[in-house]
Structure 1
Amino acid sequence: MGSNVGAGGPMRPRFVLHVGPNKTGSSAIQHWLAERADQLAADGVLYPCLANGGNILGGNGNDLVALLNTPRRGAERGNFDAISSLLESYAAQAADLGCHSVLLSSEFIPLGLEENLEFFRIRASELFRPEVLAYVRDPYWWLWSAWGQAVKGDGLSEEFQAYALRNCFSYQEALTRCIQLFGNIKLLVYRDSKLIEGFAAELGVSAELAAGASNIRVNRSLTFEELEVLLVINRIFRDSALSKKISNEMLRAKPDIPHYRHFDPVLASAIRDANAPFLASLIRYMVDTGVPVIDVNMDNRSEGPQVPVDHISKELFLLVVESVKRWQDEASPYVRLRRYVMRPVSDEAGYGDELPEGFNSVEYLVLNPDVLAAGSDPVVHYLSYGRSEGRLFKRPEAGEGQSQDTPQSAEGHQ
């Protein structure tokens, strides 16, 4: 156990906030922290569990994040008191276990409401000795990682070069927010091969706790073949839920294979030059100024340009087909609805006076979900069945009503 007593009596515990930012190894760090929580406590560092116990990925700061994002109502102190109670519970746990430090990890803490963050900073300073840890990363490789994540989870179909040039300064925005909020921030330089070791050293815990941690792989990036396939899928379907489903299946099928990294020296030079003044301004916050931010080792370990994929493995093809089929089964009503929302020309136009004034296919499907679920054409269904059944075809305005009987099921109304 670490001592928490100073020469003048009990010393306030150290309160370490690890705030990312995104794409700097947070998931791997949080996985390691959750797996080693008991050993860390024995070494004097309390890593509190979430109220629901789920803190393997995503960190243990979600309880705090929820409070930081809750707006106050008028003069009520509600969430201020809740923030204070949460911090006091951390201090009590640290005292009970004899821990000299409390550690919270979440990339979302800096995104809280300004009023709540200000109260949090004040109250944390009364109970603890706060400090903030974040990572600075080579901007080229940060953008590469952010692009890959957007392809996997957000349905992005844009090639890396276009994405990187469009988002060249978003790297600065992520760190600037942390620096503006927390004046006592400490920046560590991101190195994937020594990520956990460096974090453990800054915490001041035993080096043995980080032994073997460099082998932790969480949420790996995609291979070249996987990236090419998912980019095509994203261009066709434009649905982030499908992207996420397919990429998750890819990671589950082959969790440990090496991922693809491409180094473009011309693009890297442009991005690094554009971010050079910002990187120079970070020197005063960096824990070890002897470690360069620009990661030439990563450059050397990367692959050159690849020939576009003109065929894929049978295994990957079947994985994608099965994922698309499941997605269509789960989301087909919503896919159909989106098709009507996004159509360039309305179907109603060709029916003239056959349809009542104000008829709208999208509203008809929303108001009659059984028609949507059955996959029926809304215009054909209304003319064939809906009109005689008295179904709603538009939302009534205030004081207006449409005669409507209880709708029959659309099954069989094809």
Structure 2
Amino acid sequence: METDCTRDDLPVNGVTAALPFGTRLLHIGPHKTGTTAVQGSLFAAKDQLPEHGVVFPAHSRHPMEAALAACARPAMMGDTAPTERHWTRLLEQVGAVGAKTAVISSEFFADAEDDDTIARIVGQLGGEPVHVLVTLRPLVRIMPSQWQQYVQNGLRMGYEDWLTHMLRKAPYEQPTPSFWRRHRHDRLVGRWVRAVGPRRVTVVVVDDRDRSALLRTFEQLLGLPENLLQRVPDAANRSLTLAETEMLRNLNKEFRGNGLPDELYSKLVRNGAVKHMKNACSPSPEDVKILTPEWAVEAAAAIGAEMTRNIGDTGVRIIGDPGLLSAVPRTAALEGVPAPRISPEVAARALYGALAAAAGSPVRHTSPAKARTVHQTSSKELMRVLGHRCLKKLRRR
């Protein structure tokens, strides 16, 4: 008969054996590895999980602020800075789980930089019961998705230029130092192995050909009935097309060039224009995707092969096909890539999203009129005045 002490052994007969009851399963991502799908499905099944001995202790789908606070990382551009209270509240919710299994999931745990921070997080979550789960996808698939996400957070650098910095310009840290902290996956796994040991780390290789496989793996690890976890549609989490990303990247240049406040970017751009555009517009087959040049694909595949070997040497449990992490995708040859062009509908949706966000905090004109008229003021100065007025209203709220 199987006992709790053997439930975290290697997969049995092709089925992943469940973790011991009372485990604190810490899913650390990293980014762009199916984290949103997992978090959405767990949160949707939150009320059903306890009858199977599992709890998802969070008030929202993704306890991002708690993870950022735990890792001492800053918020996204313009967002409110996380506080220690966010992390303390999540710890209190985990503590209230008792003997049941708790699942904590945030890709921002992958941003923990040093061994001391990781050891503190593990200790505060209970120490011995903590089991770390890392989900991985091929680096070549992560790069375009991560670049457009950086653009959504204010990046102004084009894709190929960014790839050059990440792959060819040592020490490969600028302009996005978080990229290799998250996606040098062998070092990421190694940092957490040093905290909990290899037997308490599981790596799941995500197979993009079977989108339900990741949820089935979570069910098996948690001892849940098959198909309890279901995908939850989330248009707001889709990646931007090349045209949408380029539109936003050029807007970022204008935004920075006019010295507007970060808080305005968070409200009007990321949570206004971009959010509404993603929710209201679905990419069509004609939309140009973000294409990675062949030199970068080959470099990413080579790094993926090296990382796979190093992860294997750590002795952690690996679920899935590690060979996928260094596979080179086969794509049809293209006779020239068409220039990305944003459709009028997408542009209108984005503009409406920004206007709707601005309307949520209307500016009251209580100050006396200036001597100059609008037509006598430069557009740069008008943008700066508008930005500071909106920021002032945001701070009042």
Q: Give distance in 2, aligned partners of 1:132 and 1:223.
A: 33
**Equivalent position of 1:228 in the other structure:** 246
Once the two structures are superposed, residues 72-107 of structure 1 have per-residue CA deviations (whole angstroms, 9 ceiling, x without a partner) of: xxxxxxx89x96x97576354333xxx3x2111122
Deviation of the 1:255 alpha carbon? 5.1
What code does the residue aligned with 1:118 have?
Answer: A
Q: How does 1:131-280 map to 2 (within 5 A)?
A: 131-151=131-151, 153-168=152-167, 171-174=179-182, 175=185, 176-177=187-188, 179-181=190-192, 182=195, 183=197, 184-192=200-208, 193=211, 194-210=213-229, 212-213=230-231, 219-238=237-256, 240-241=265-266, 243-244=269-270, 245-254=272-281, 260-280=289-309
What code does the residue aligned with 1:248 have?
Answer: K
SS of match in other structure, 1:133: strand
Deviation of the 1:308 alpha carbon? 0.6
Contact map agreement 1:263 1:304 (CA 8 A) in 2: no
What code does the residue aligned with 1:109 have?
Answer: F
Q: Give distance in 2, aligned partners of 1:28 and 1:236.
A: 33
Contact map agreement 1:263 1:303 (CA 8 A) in 2: no
Contact map agreement 1:62 1:106 (CA 8 A) in 2: no
- Match 1:33 to one of 35, 42, 55: 42
Q: Give distance in 2, aligned partners of 1:271 and 1:375.
A: 59
Deviation of the 1:145 alpha carbon? 0.9
Cα-Cα RMSD:
4.4
Q: How does 1:331-342 map to 2 (within 5 A)?
A: none
The reply on whether 1:294 has 2:325 as its aligned counterpart is: yes
Deviation of the 1:213 alpha carbon? 2.2
Contact map agreement 1:262 1:304 (CA 8 A) in 2: no
Deviation of the 1:136 alpha carbon? 2.0
SS of match in other structure, 2:325: coil
Once the two structures are superposed, residues 335-390 of structure 1 have per-residue CA deviations (whole angstroms, 9 ceiling, x without a partner) of: xxxxxxxxxxxxxxxxxxxxxxxxxxxxxxxxxx969x96969xx99xxxxxxxxx
**Equivalent position of 1:107 in the other structure:** 107
What code does the residue aligned with 1:271 have?
Answer: A
TM-score (norm 2): 0.63
What code does the residue aligned with 1:246 have?
Answer: A
Higher relative contact order (CA 8 A, sep 6+): 2
The reply on whether 1:48 has 2:48 as its aligned counterpart is: no
Contact map agreement 2:57 2:93 (CA 8 A) in 1: no
Identity %: 21
Deviation of the 1:27 alpha carbon? 1.6
Extract unaligned runs of 5+ from structure 1. 71-78, 334-368, 382-414
Q: Give distance in 2, aligned partners of 1:243 and 1:232.
A: 12
Deviation of the 1:277 alpha carbon? 2.1
What code does the residue aligned with 1:200 have?
Answer: E
**Equivalent position of 1:352 in the other structure:** none
SS of match in other structure, 2:102: strand
Q: Compared with structure 1, are the counterparts of its residues 63 and 314 closer, same or farther at alpha carbon in structure 2 (3 Å cutoff)? A: closer
Q: Give distance in 2, aligned partners of 1:322 and 1:116.
A: 42
Q: How does 1:75-114 map to 2 (within 5 A)?
A: 90-95=94-99, 99=100, 101-109=101-109, 111=111
**Equivalent position of 1:358 in the other structure:** none
Q: Compared with structure 1, are the counterparts of its residues 155 and 305 closer, same or farther at alpha carbon in structure 2 (3 Å cutoff)? A: farther
Contact map agreement 2:41 2:232 (CA 8 A) in 1: no
What code does the residue aligned with 1:187 have?
Answer: V
Corresponding pairs, count: 313
Q: Compared with structure 1, are the counterparts of its residues 44 and 374 closer, same or farther at alpha carbon in structure 2 (3 Å cutoff)? A: farther
Extract unaligned runs of 5+ from structure 2. 7-19, 74-83, 173-177, 378-397
**Equivalent position of 2:392 in the other structure:** none
Contact map agreement 2:71 2:117 (CA 8 A) in 1: yes
TM-score (norm 1): 0.61
Q: Give distance in 1, aligned partners of 2:234 and 2:299.
A: 32
Q: Compared with structure 1, are the counterparts of its residues 232 and 63 closer, same or farther at alpha carbon in structure 2 (3 Å cutoff)? A: closer
Q: Give distance in 1, aligned partners of 2:349 and 2:120.
A: 49
Q: How does 1:57-68 map to 2 (within 5 A)?
A: 58-59=62-63, 62-63=65-66, 66=69
Once the two structures are superposed, residues 234-273 of structure 1 have per-residue CA deviations (whole angstroms, 9 ceiling, x without a partner) of: 3443475454232212112125767735353332002222
Q: Give distance in 1, aligned partners of 2:189 and 2:372.
A: 51
**Equivalent position of 2:316 in the other structure:** 285
Contact map agreement 1:28 1:218 (CA 8 A) in 2: no
Q: Name whichever of 195-204 and 288-297 sits farther off.
A: 288-297
Contact map agreement 1:16 1:133 (CA 8 A) in 2: yes
What code does the residue aligned with 2:245 have?
Answer: L
Q: Name whichever of 201-210 and 297-306 sits farther off.
A: 297-306
